[in-house]
Amino acid sequence: MSLLVETRDLHKRFGGIHAVRGVSLKVHRGEVLGFLGPNGAGKTTTMRMITGFLEATVGSAWVDGVNVALDPLRAKTRMGYLPEGAPCYPDMRVEEFLAFIARARGFRGADLQARVERSIEAVNLTLVRKQTFETLSKGYRRRTGIAQALLHDPPVLIMDEPTDGLDPNQKFEVRALIRRLGKERAVILSTHLLEEVEAVCTRAVIINRGVVVFDGTPTAMDALAPASVKVNRLDHVFRQLTTSEVSGGRA
């Protein structure tokens, strides 16, 4: 498997707050990595450094062999990014927004239109393609965000809470889409849901207080919170990791 995402000793400080403390990751083609952690653990900050949205205080990130800090525009052509909240222009129709993003990425003419149509079909936006963003449900807003991340067919997808706000049927559809996309890409997604990692991911990474405390298979992670723990299974995992001995920053 080819290496598509790599971070080396990423740190991020916001004044006196040390939000990310030496995160090093490698993600290969064919991997779907679930990035978990409690609120404020550093998940979103790490993802923003990988995408180039935030500059690292210390450390480096590469996407498909391109250094994000040294060649940010080229790096961004190699990734699709769904940010937290799926921001969009409220008065744009769905198809207009996707065409706008496609133009911003340099596509024109028939190629542009084909990419818009393919993205609309991939995430099932046909029924709302003429609606403005401000009239969409939260679920369709997330779908529109995923569609824009797919327009340029990138080898890397980075998604912050991709199923947030979706109903059970929509979650099922989006998770199936992510599994399909992950077969030929490297996918990093943040989530608060253990069942999402179990349903979608080939690998799980847990971060706590800016430090990676677990990196392994969903099966190994699930062993920390067996099915008998019916409530707050993720909280149970965090307690297990933070109260047990951690070697080299990993369980």
How do beta strands 58-63 and 32-36 pair?
unpaired
For 139, residues 6+ apart whose C-beta sits below 8 A from its C-beta are 165, 166, 167, 170
Considering just the CA atoms, what is the radius of gyration of the chain in Å? Answer: 18
Separation between Cα atoms, residue 244 and residue 223, nearest integer Å = 14
**pLDDT per position as a tens digit, 199-217:** 999 999 999 899 999 999 9
**For the chain, which residues make up each domain, given as ranges?**
1-78+156-169+184-251, 86-153
* Residue 102 in this model has a pLDDT that exceeds 70: yes
Helix (H), strand (E) at residue 59: strand 58-63
The candidate with the shortest Cα–Cα distance to 124, out of 85, 94, 86, 93, is 94
Report helix, strand or coil for 32. strand
pLDDT digits (tens, 9 = 90+) for 225-236: 665 554 555 666
**Residue whose token pair is 């099922």:** 172
**Range in 47-51, 53-57, 216-220 the model is least confident about:** 216-220
**Side chain identity at 250, as an amino acid letter?**
R
Long-range Cβ contacts of 245-248 (<8 Å, 24+ apart): 246/213
Confidence label for 142 from pLDDT (cuts 50, 70 and 90): confident
- The superfamily (CATH) of domain 1-78+156-169+184-251 is P-loop containing nucleotide triphosphate hydrolases (3.40.50.300)
CA distance 88 to 242: 38
Nearest to 183 by CA among 80, 34, 30: 30
Q: pLDDT of 72-83, one tens digit each?
A: 999 999 999 998
Residue that is written with structure tokens 């030496």 in the block: 22
- The structure tokens listed for 65 are 């062999």
Q: pLDDT class for 246, splitting at 50, 70, 90?
A: very low
